[in-house]
Every structure is written in structure tokens, then in C-alpha cells.
């Protein structure tokens, strides 16, 4: 009696298992061609004067912005990829960002930002801002102002003071370990490094 019942149960099992598997596999096949979402802008150029074994890429449209500054004023500066809406942010939390702020006196100061992206290694991306004044001045970095920003929203990742060092002729900001500072389920995407500097007169 039990054997007959068992046979009845077996005959009632669905016979289209292979068909269902084929259908499921077809539904998950990736498309042959699809539009790609770029991170870094497609119009980057090699820095003409670069002779380093690690080539430097720049955005010619925004590279080398010059601003005339006034003594006693504080300015917010952004170095990186500006106003690009190609879909994704230019940089992720596995990228490194650095900036050098000179502190020696001069009538013109150059703030340099470098960004290191695993996909384009050994190349690096660079941005530069030139500050000019009628008289000699020094730059004073506003501590706590270094933030990695996204062009498309108000997100900001503050760079801690342990990633900032004071050198003989300037301030070096170097953030290379973002992943260890955030929760595993979170990601950081950014386009620019924002800093603030004060223009101090030289007496």
C-alpha cells in the first residue's frame, strides 16, 4: 500500500524542470551591447610637460584656474573633476587623493591636487589652482576644511587630521585609506577635494 502511494506521488512531480531552468538562465543573460557609464571624463589629456614614468592626465578646460586674492580673506578651493555628469562620480573609496598647499611667501601660489585611480595606474589625474595677489602673501590652511565632495549631491567625506602633515615648505594632505574608515555596507564616491585657505600678508 505504501509503495503504491509512493508511486502516485512520483508521477505527480512536474516534468518541466529543465524548461524552467533554461528560461531562468535566459532571463539573467547580460546584454551583448549596452551604454557604458564613464567615471573620469573622456576628454582628458596628457600633461604636455610631463616626463615622468607615471603619466599625468588633466582636464584642459579646468586645469590651471587662476584667481586674484585679497589679504585677510578666506577662500574655498576645489581640486578634481569639475561639473562632469557622465553618470558616476569620478573617484571611489579605493582611490587616493592628495593636495599640497605651499606656505612659503610669494606673490603667486600654486595649489596642486593629485588623484590616483587603480583603473588608470600608473597614470594619475592632476588639477592645479593658481592664486595671485599684488603683494607677497602666505597661505594658511584652515584645519578641518579638507572634504571629499560629490558634484551631484551634498555628500562630503571629511579628511581627518591624521592624513595631513606639516612640512618645511607646505601642508600635505594625503588620504589613501577611505575604506577602513567607513562601514562595510557603505561606499564613498567623490569628484573633488575641497579645502579652505586664508591669505595672510607678509610683514
Residue 13: phi, psi to the nearest 5? Answer: -70, 145
Instruction: Write the DSSP symbol of residue 191.
Output: S
Task: Please report, for residues 27, 37, 63, 73, the alpha-carbon distance to residue 59 in angstroms, rounded to integers and kept in the order given.
Answer: 41, 18, 6, 28
Q: 3-state DSSP call for residue 10?
A: helix
pLDDT of residue 68: 97
Q: Are 121 and 57 in contact (CB under 8 A)?
A: no
Residue pLDDT, tens place only, 176-202: 988 777 767 677 788 899 999 999 999
Task: Please report, for residues 14, 69, 78, 116, 198, the alpha-carbon distance to residue 66 in angstroms, rounded to integers and kept in the order given.
Answer: 73, 10, 12, 24, 16
Average pLDDT over residues 159-172: 95
Residue pLDDT, tens place only, 94-126: 899 999 999 999 999 999 999 998 888 888 999
pLDDT of residue 177: 82
Residues of the chain above pLDDT 90, percent: 48
* Tally of residues, the chain: 203
Q: Which residues sit opposite 149 in a β-bridge?
A: 156, 192
Alpha-carbon gap, residue 23 to 16, rounded angstroms: 11
pLDDT at 50 over 80: no
Average pLDDT over residues 137-160: 91
Query: What global pTM score does this model have?
Result: 0.76
Q: Which residues sit opposite 195 in a β-bridge?
A: 77
pLDDT of residue 19: 62
Q: How many helices (H) and strands (E) does the chain have?
A: 2, 14
Amino acid at each position: 500500500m505504501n509503495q503504491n502511494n509512493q508511486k502516485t506521488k512520483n508521477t505527480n512531480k512536474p516534468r518541466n524542470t529543465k524548461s524552467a531552468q533554461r528560461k531562468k538562465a535566459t532571463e539573467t543573460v547580460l546584454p551583448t551591447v549596452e551604454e557604458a557609464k564613464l567615471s573620469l571624463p573622456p576628454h582628458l589629456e596628457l600633461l604636455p610637460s610631463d616626463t615622468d614614468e607615471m603619466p599625468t592626465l588633466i582636464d584642459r578646460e579646468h586645469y590651471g584656474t587662476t584667481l586674484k586674492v585679497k589679504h585677510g580673506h578666506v577662500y574655498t578651493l576645489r581640486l578634481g573633476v569639475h561639473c562632469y555628469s557622465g553618470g558616476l562620480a569620478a573617484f571611489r573609496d579605493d582611490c587616493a587623493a592628495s593636495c599640497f598647499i605651499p606656505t612659503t611667501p610669494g606673490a603667486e601660489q600654486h595649489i596642486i591636487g593629485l588623484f590616483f585611480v587603480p583603473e588608470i595606474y600608473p597614470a594619475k589625474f592632476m588639477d592645479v589652482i593658481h592664486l595671485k595677489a599684488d603683494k607677497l602673501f602666505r597661505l594658511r590652511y584652515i584645519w578641518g576644511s579638507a572634504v571629499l565632495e560629490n558634484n551631484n549631491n551634498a555628500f562630503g567625506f571629511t579628511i581627518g587630521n591624521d592624513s595631513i602633515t606639516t612640512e618645511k615648505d607646505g601642508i600635505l594632505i594625503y588620504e589613501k585609506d577611505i575604506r577602513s574608515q567607513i562601514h562595510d555596507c557603505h561606499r564613498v564616491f567623490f569628484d573633488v577635494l575641497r579645502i579652505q585657505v586664508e591669505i595672510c600678508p607678509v610683514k
